Amino acid sequence: MRLQIRIGILIACVAVLHCGPRSGDGAGPVRPESLKQRNERMAWWRDARFGLFIHWGVYSVPAGEYRGRPVDGIGEWIMNNAHIPCAEYRRYAKRFNPVRYDPDAWVRLAKEAGMKYIIITSKHHDGFALFDSKATEWDVVDATPYGKDLLKPLAEACGRHGLRLGFYHSQAQDWNHPGGSAIGGHWDKAQDGDMDAYIRDIAVPQVREILSNYGPVSVIWWDTPEGMTKERAEAFLPLLDLQPGIIQNNRLGGGYEGDTETPEQYVPATGFPGRDWETCMTMNDTWGYKKSDQNWKSARTLVRQLVEAASKGGNYLLNVGPTSEGLIPEPSVERLKAIGRWTRVNGEAIYGTQASPFRSLEWGRCTQKSVPGGTRLYLHVFDWPADGKLTVSGLRNRPKTAFLLSDPDRSALPVERIEDALVVTLPSAAPDTAASVVVLEIQGKPEVVETPDMASDFTSFTDSLDVTIAPPGRGFDVRYTLDGSAPSISSAKVKGPVRLRETTTVSARCFRGGRPASGVTRRTYEKIAPVPAVTRTGAAPGLAVSLYEGEWSVLPDFRKLRPLRRGTAADFDIAGRRTDDKFGFVFEGFVRVPATGLYAFFTESDDGSRLLIGEKPVVVNDGLHGMEERRGEIALGAGLHPIRVEFFEKTGEEGLVVSWLGPGLPKQRIPGEALFR
């Protein structure tokens, strides 16, 4: 009996303690806290949804050029990209004189945009500190003609205007101090040194300074965990006690997960269920100022990205890169003011909201809030319906009211139930071309019947194809049509896989009690002819592989670039081929297809990849993202087919997996014995 009581007490204690926000797998808690305590600590951040990122430093002096020539890549990486010697790079500090810096204006601009917090680079990878550091003279006070701390007046301005302040800090990558270059390569003997000594003498003291000298600090935004062992990471953890309630991201390293995930330059398709997360995004292509980069995203795009992040339960951290004089570039100012015009009208649909209850919506996105007696759904309409009817399919709740958030009178819009859907009648013109918000209040929590699941091995076929249709839950009948029309209660009932022999549009819908209960799942399956194999004599095993160096945010046209070197490879494995960042590989050769039929190819990569059969792009997995898999399909005749796989890595982790499945082949990596050159 005593043993049972002790076990019960132990289970209860485990249930109370929550080790997620400052712990890592196997690393143990930094400070145990209950789920209630964690939620209280994260509450302001979850409500805020929108923040300003600021990348600022000495790199704004060269502004993307070295010795009179433009340097490829993002502005703050110019020292690394151009392999500028430490002594030469430090001379840029003599020209870093931000006499036009107005921190109050910066904070007012962020507030006008609707932002609730600011994260600024206290120190980036070039090791230059924007504060008066006692650990080094490579800082704004000791190394520049400006000679004044840049963080203190910003902290004071945040306090005056009610914005939270956080610091980005590069804890494990420092190209200007011995031992600090954890990744990115070494090109100067002045960088040689012991990393443990660097962490002890430079990194830890600097983190202590930024968490001690600037009043309340709400966020510590670590960067580049490479080289950070568990022991090295643990040297920083006691410093968090200097700012009770501080939030840290997932980039400390050493196995510590932190509080927030940090997708960079993209909004994840499904968010991070069970984790707080924040997308950081540039307005153009660079974080630090680069005068030649004029590839600006539109304000409309930026507003929709903010909505996209909020609809998936995440935050949006939008970047500016000030000049060496201390000015935020005018295109950034214009966009922030435009976003502010939208948030002043529609901010209620962003701040304090939760993720959408809908799996997908054809016309836009949704956020939601609980209100007394029900739920307020914020319907962010990207594509204004031409017929004035906004259809919200599968929503079972009774409507209470609907209105445009932009309408100061909140005049009621007609809402009616048509079969499975609530349909809101809208004015003829959209209030905002970026995103117009329709508020739909419903009774209770959202009860959404998703459309039927429709699955098949492929979306096209050469002979025949079986399509499986299933309800999203129990208690539904599913009916389908093969002519693209919406199913009715008299349509065929799903009793098993539906076999197709010609190009067909399949539509399926859930019914309950003889009435439609969901929207329609509709997909077209195309019958196609296989691509014939090619004749190739004397093919040798393996692939040709070319290595390229450069920094890209999307796949370049490798055919126009000169490779650093060429060689051969047994397969598509890149493990051990590079230990740094900013490179690309191109694999070329032939793949032997064992039987005629439909094949699916997959690339899983970090960052971008593309797979071509002949000249046809089959898998496009481009852009900056974490390890992410994409799929493509093609019908092939038995025999050899030209194959080309392109891949690039910018920063962080890297990986490439190339797989296939087909007639008689389960999904698997393409084996070396199927590859030739």
Residue 603 CB-density burial (10 A; 0-12 exposed, 13-18 middle, 19+ buried): buried
Cα–Cα distance measured from residue 256 to residue 258, given in angstroms and rounded to the nearest whole number: 6
**Residues 370 and 260 occupy one common structural domain:** no
Angle at 455 between CA 454 and CA 457, to 5 degrees: 160
User: How many other CB atoms are found less than 10 A from the CB of residue 186?
Assistant: 12
Q: Is the dihedral of CA 420, 422, 427, 430 positive or negative?
A: negative
CATH number at residue 475: 2.60.40
What's the confidence (pLDDT) of residue 183? Answer: 58
SS in 3 state form for 308-358?
HHHHCCCEEEEEECCCCCCCCCHHHHHHHHHHHHHHHHHHHHCCCCECCCC
Q: Is the pLDDT of residue 56 over 90?
A: yes
Structural domain ending residue among the three candidates 493, 527, 561: 527
What's the confidence (pLDDT) of residue 72? Answer: 85
Residue at 41 is within a domain:
no
What's the confidence (pLDDT) of residue 508? Answer: 96
Cα–Cα distance measured from residue 561 to residue 551, given in angstroms and rounded to the nearest whole number: 13
User: How many other CB atoms are found less than 10 A from the CB of residue 12?
Assistant: 10
CB 589 within 8 A of CB 542: yes
The tokens for 100 are: 């036009």
Cα–Cα distance measured from residue 409 to residue 593, given in angstroms and rounded to the nearest whole number: 65
**Residues 556 and 668 occupy one common structural domain:** yes
What is the average pLDDT across 369-389? 97
**Residues 85 and 178 occupy one common structural domain:** yes
For 563, phi then psi, to 5°, come to -70, 150
Greater model confidence, 97 or 33: 97
**Residues 378 and 466 occupy one common structural domain:** no
What is the average pLDDT across 287-300? 96
**Residues 335 and 402 occupy one common structural domain:** no
- E strand or H helix that includes residue 80: helix 78-81
What's the confidence (pLDDT) of residue 7? Answer: 33
Percentage of residues in the chain having pLDDT higher than 90 = 85
613: region left, alpha or beta (phi > 0 left; psi from -120 to 50 alpha): beta
Distances from the Cα of 28 to the Cαs of 32, 255, 393, 603, in angstroms?
A: 9, 10, 45, 35
What's the confidence (pLDDT) of residue 579? Answer: 67
What does pTM read for this prediction? 0.83
**Residues 256 and 380 occupy one common structural domain:** no
Structural domain ending residue among the three candidates 408, 443, 478: 443
Distances from the Cα of 375 to the Cαs of 400, 413, 427, 445, in angstroms?
A: 10, 17, 23, 6
Question: Beta partners for 418?
Answer: 421
Cα–Cα distance measured from residue 542 to residue 536, given in angstroms and rounded to the nearest whole number: 14
Picking from 662, 22, 50, 11, the residue whose alpha carbon sits closest to that of residue 351 is 50
pLDDT, tens digit, 9 for 90 and up, residues 511-557: 999 999 998 999 999 999 999 999 988 889 999 999 999 988 889 99
What is the average pLDDT across 419-428? 95
Cα–Cα distance measured from residue 73 to residue 651, given in angstroms and rounded to the nearest whole number: 11
Residue at 8 is within a domain:
no
Picking from 237, 216, 258, 257, the residue whose alpha carbon sits closest to that of residue 118 is 216
**Residues 422 and 457 occupy one common structural domain:** no
What's the confidence (pLDDT) of residue 555? Answer: 94
Picking from 498, 481, 500, 501, the residue whose alpha carbon sits closest to that of residue 490 is 481
Structural domain ending residue among the three candidates 423, 443, 463: 443
Cα–Cα distance measured from residue 363 to residue 365, given in angstroms and rounded to the nearest whole number: 7
Residue at 37 is within a domain:
no
What's the confidence (pLDDT) of residue 478? Answer: 97
What's the confidence (pLDDT) of residue 6? Answer: 34
The tokens for 566 are: 């060429």
- Spell out where 15-150 has E strands: 23-24, 28-29, 50-54, 65-66, 69-70, 117-123
Confidence tier at 627 by pLDDT (50, 70, 90): confident
**Residues 439 and 457 occupy one common structural domain:** no
Residue at 410 is within a domain:
yes
Strands 50-54 and 315-320: parallel
CATH number at residue 401: 2.60.40.1180
User: How many other CB atoms are found less than 10 A from the CB of residue 408?
Assistant: 8
pLDDT, tens digit, 9 for 90 and up, residues 171-224: 989 999 999 975 556 899 999 999 999 999 999 999 999 999 999 999 999 998
Cα–Cα distance measured from residue 54 to residue 59, given in angstroms and rounded to the nearest whole number: 13
Confidence tier at 592 by pLDDT (50, 70, 90): very high
CATH number at residue 613: 3.90.182.10
Cα–Cα distance measured from residue 584 to residue 603, given in angstroms and rounded to the nearest whole number: 15
Confidence tier at 348 by pLDDT (50, 70, 90): very high
**Residues 290 and 383 occupy one common structural domain:** no
**Residues 168 and 243 occupy one common structural domain:** yes
What's the confidence (pLDDT) of residue 120? Answer: 98
Helix (H, G, I), strand (E, B), or coil: what is residue 6? helix
What's the confidence (pLDDT) of residue 185? Answer: 61
Domain range for 469 is 453-527
Question: Beta partners for 593?
Answer: 639
Confidence tier at 30 by pLDDT (50, 70, 90): low
**Residues 478 and 603 occupy one common structural domain:** no
Count of structural domains within the chain: 4
Cα–Cα distance measured from residue 124 to residue 106, given in angstroms and rounded to the nearest whole number: 20
**Residues 66 and 158 occupy one common structural domain:** yes
